[in-house]
Each structure stands twice: as C-alpha cells, then as structure tokens.
Amino acid sequence: MNQQQIAIPLLTPLLPDRMAIMPYLEQIDSSRQYSNFGPLNTALESRLAALFQQHTSHSLHVTTVSNATQGLELALSSLGLPPKSKVVVPALTFVASLTAIIRAGHIPVVADIDPNSWLITPEVAMEVASKSGAQAVLAVAAFGQPLDTHSWSDLQSSTGLRVLIDAAGAFGSQWVESPDIPVVYSMHATKALAAGEGGMVVSGDADLNAHIKQLSNFGINLDANVGFPVGHLSFVGSNAKLSEYHAAVAHASLDQWDMQVQRRQDVYRPYRQSLELACGDALQWQAGVPVTAPTMLCVRMKAEARQCLERVCQHQKIATRRWYQPLLHQNSDFIQMIRQVTPVAEAIASGLIGLPFSPYMTSAEIDRVVAAVRLAVDATD
Ligand SMILES: Cc1ncc(COP(=O)(O)O)c(C=O)c1O
C-alpha cells in the first residue's frame, strides 16, 4: 500500500500548529540563540522537572537531548560500565534500544519478557544477568506501559546491576519515583509530547545528568569548577543537543498537554471497548495500568487470525504494523549480540498487531477497523 492508497493510516501525529508555536519563535527571534543550551531549552528543562517532581519527593534533573536514541546512548555511556559490558535488553522493543547499547560500546544480551505485561521484569533480568554475566539492564516501557521504578531500584541495590529505563513512548505514564534509576523519553513527532525530534533523560543523580549534558555537547567541559580547563574536551561525546526550535515546539506541546491526553483518551477508550465487545477473548491486551496518552493500539491474536486480518486490511486499505518486529535477536546475524532463549516474546510476537490509532480517528473509522478485526477473528475461529 503506498501512502495515497491508504484509507485509514496507522498513525497521525498531533503537534501544536504554527500559531501555538509562534510565541516561542518570537522568543528565539529576540534571544538570537538557536541551540547550545539556549533559554528555551533551559526553561523547558525546568518545566519538565517541575512536572516529574510532582510524582516524587526526591529532587530530579532533566537533561534534554536531540532524540531518545542519543539519550540512551549517552546515558549508557555515563553509567561507568567497563567497555564491552553485557547489557540485558528485552527482545520486544524498538531497534534503538539495541543500537544504543552497541554504540555505547557494550554487548546486548537479548532476553525474554513477561507473558502478561509483555515487558522485561526484574526477575527475568536477574536470571539472564546471572547466566550471562551482564552488568546492566536496559528495561523498556514498551507500548507506553510504565515500569515500577521501585522494583528496578531494589534489583539494582540488591545485585549491583545498573538499570536504565527506556521509556521513549511512555511520557505521561512513566514517572521517576526512584532517584537512582535514570529514565529516557522521546519527543519524536509520533510521541504524545512531541517536538518533532527530541528526547530527555530524567534522574535523581545531578552528576549523571551533568555528564550526559556534557556528552551531548561533544564532551567539552563547560564547568569552571571541576579543575579542568573550560572549552577542553574531557570525554568523547556527540552532538546531541536539542535546538531552540525543537524546544519551542516542545513548549507548545506542553502547553497543550491536557488536550493531547484528552483527545487520545477520547479515541482510545471507545475504540478498545468496541474491540472487546466485538471480539472478546479472541484479543489479548497488554496487562498493566491504563496508559495516560496512548500513541498506539496493539493487540495480540492467534497467528492465523492476524494473517487473515492483514489480508483484510490490505484489501480495505487499512494500515497495520507488526510493531517491534522482527524481534531484536531476529535482526541480522552480523549484529553482535548474545541471544537468550525467548519463547514468550516469540509466542507474543507471532500474533501481535498494531491497528490504526490517532487522535484524529473518527467513530466511522473505528467501526471499520473493528469490523475488519471481527471478520478475521470469525473467519479463523
Ligand atoms: C522503545 C523505544 N526506544 C527508543 C526509541 C527511539 O526514540 P527516538 O526516535 O526519539 O530516538 C523509540 C522510538 O519510537 C522506542 O519506541
């Protein structure tokens, strides 16, 4: 299906329009700062920190980055792990979780997931780490479903395994209740808090965030108080700064956050209800808390039902996506990783399908998708 032929797209981002961004663009016109930790970026970090602060009494730090992939790589590089450390990562996640580990100089150990939450758990991580000798875990809040930072913090303090959370798609649901567990978010256009491209790392560790900030600016030291010349390179970083233009969009997105949540909920809730009503047990859902600002709608069905649904949708020009597939370990053999057995992830992936979802979906479109799913379920019953 090419773009013109699609009747119901997989997703349509909801970003602030140009009028909503305008006041921030005017600030750029007068500051004449376009990047390099400008005033909009600083103000954005403060606004975000205040938001996260509502969910914990520990003080938190927010460092913006150019995207979550860079945020993950720089956060992993800041954990003080020896080069080529093994890092556990769940099989069911976006490839950026994998590439960030490798680009940070480490070796991914691809692990299985929980059959109900579809997420890696501290128990699975601990088992895989003790078998493989891993020193860290990149846990993933897949499909926007938040992780319990307390239980990951318990794992970290009881085993010494360093834990980082990839919550790229979980802004608004994933909070940072444990100050010792850094969490990375995306502000990609497809995410609920969107800047076009962007990301942030949130943690309770001021030094860690300062290090990530320095790495996002090539690794150049900007701190006069560390006994190292300002302007000199003290670590090898990257250019992962959020530009002032992206910060402008992020501010406007934050201004509209409540509306963003409402519009997503207004589509998601009745859509899911209709699917449940039409298909009952034939559809399985990710267990967990309701996601605050859903960006995707993903269900599990029998493999034959999924295949049938894909044919029906192809015919009716309804876009679908096998999210996070291939699983990480099913990518090229040339990518260096340690593959653990992952029967649960494979069973889940065999019937997982992303249906169209966006805040713009009409009830007629929802009805069309639900009818297609029902057709596929009935045909393969
Ligand atoms: C789980 C996960 N990690 C990382 C990323 C990468 O985020 P970004 O596009 O901001 O680099 C994504 C993007 O969707 C994701 O879903």
Q: For 3-27, how does the pLDDT look when each residue is reduced to its tens digit (9 = 90+)?
A: 668 999 999 999 999 999 999 999 9
CATH number at 3-12+257-379: 3.90.1150.10
- CB of 97 within 6 A of ligand 1: the answer is yes
Q: For 261-310, how does the pLDDT look when each residue is reduced to its tens digit (9 = 90+)?
A: 999 999 999 999 999 999 999 999 999 999 999 999 999 999 999 999 99
Q: Which helix (H) or strand (E) holds 48?
A: helix 39-53
- Point out the ligand 1 atom lying closest to the alpha carbon of residue 199: 10
Q: For 93-106, how does the pLDDT look when each residue is reduced to its tens digit (9 = 90+)?
A: 999 999 999 999 99
- CB of 120 within 6 A of ligand 1: the answer is no
The pLDDT value recorded for residue 31 is 98
The pLDDT value recorded for residue 180 is 98
- Pocket-testing residue among 89, 186, 295, 323, ligand 1, by greatest number of atoms within 8 A of Cβ: 186
Dig out the tokens for 373 from the structure.
């799913």
Grouping H, G, I as helix, E, B as strand and the rest as coil, residue 25 is helix
- CB of 96 within 6 A of ligand 1: the answer is yes
- Point out the ligand 1 atom lying closest to the alpha carbon of residue 188: 10
- Which whole number is the average pLDDT over 107-131? 98
| Mean pLDDT (the chain, rounded) | 97
Say how many C-beta atoms besides its own lie within 10 A of residue 175's C-beta. 20
Q: Is the pLDDT of residue 37 over 90?
A: yes
Cα(first)–Cα(last) distance of the chain, in Å?
Answer: 27
Percent above pLDDT 90 for the chain: 97
Split at pLDDT 50, 70, 90, the class of 1 is low
Q: Which CATH number fits domain 18-255: 1.20.1250.20, 3.40.50.2300, 2.30.110.10, 3.40.640.10?
A: 3.40.640.10
- Which whole number is the average pLDDT over 207-226? 96
Residue boundaries of the structural domains of the chain: 3-12+257-379, 18-255
- CB of 68 within 6 A of ligand 1: the answer is yes
Residue 291 Cα to ligand 1 midpoint, Å, equals 17
